[in-house]
Amino acid sequence: MALELLAAIERYLDVLRVERGLSVHTLAAYARDLQSFTDVLEDLDPAAVADVTALSARHGLAFAISLSERKLSLRSQARMLSSLRGLGKFLRRESLVPADPMAELSLPKTGRPLPHTLGQAEIEQLLARPDVTTPRGARDAAMIEVLYSTGLRVSELCKLALVDIGPGYLRTVGKGKKTRIVPLGERAEAAIRRYLDESRPVLLAGKQSPALFVTHLGRAMTRQGFHKLLALYGRAVGIADLHPHLLRHSFATHLLDHGADLRAVQTMLGHADVSTTEIYTHVASTSLRRTYRRHHPRA
């Protein structure tokens, strides 16, 4: 019995969700990419939409050409083609097709842009901005301090529970549902204590919540809500387009600037592969070269 492309994609997404533990947002991105491929194929070759065994290399090539014609960025093209290659591997692995139809599909060369980071002075300005004499300000200050002090992803920050905070460390569950322990600096601990003692009870107003960081409605802070708050603080201190991941980049780069071991930074960030972390060494070395040129009399 023929297996339709859409049914095969659903099976592939189920495997990604169960076996690889991908987030809802990542799965949605895969689904959008593969829906784009399906849309192209419906015009090009409906038979391949009706039966995955009819898929071939020419279908992948046609999809690549369509992405180029849409003038998408090379990065977006590479991501969408990577999703398609993953589907091809899945179909072959599950013996749903005689051979991987996307095996020869190549990705455009995108290079690897260095992540932007904040300078130490910008970090200090940002950390000093929230009004810690107010319940919301003390909460915001604690969240920003924790984000910069630990390098958490914003989703990990917002999912923190009271039980995740220990003396000098916190526990978080990252990508792939992997638990890791991250050191917590003295300033971050102090900010959390102040928030817990003076602000959280006011925000909860008698309600109960297992979440560490809560809103004035007594609910857990959301990624979107914190993103908006952080952007407002960024604009207030002259940092345009400030987003949570920028603090994660800054955390990693500043650690390496001060001599931290690459493997230790990898562990704290929750990277499965050290090559993902190595990009920060390039940022750090760039910073060192800039400092040398600026201050050394014989540079």
Q: Which residues are part of the catalytic machinery?
A: 153, 175, 245, 248, 271, 280
DSSP per position, 16-46: HHHHS---HHHHHHHHHHHHHHHHHHHHH-H
Residue 1 half-sphere exposure, CB side, CA atoms within 13 Å? Answer: 3
Helix axes 74-93, 57-69, angle to 10 degrees: 160
3-class secondary structure, 221: coil
Angle 71-110-252 (CA atoms, 0-180°, nearest 5)? 125
Q: How far is CA 234 from the centre of its chain?
A: 19
Closest C-alpha to 34, from 94, 102, 96, 97:
102
What's 166's DSSP letter?
Answer: E
- The two tokens of residue 298 are 């014989």
The whole-angstrom separation of Cα 172 and Cα 153 is 10
Sort residue 173 into left (φ over 0), alpha (ψ -120 to 50) or beta.
beta
CA distance 85 to 102: 5
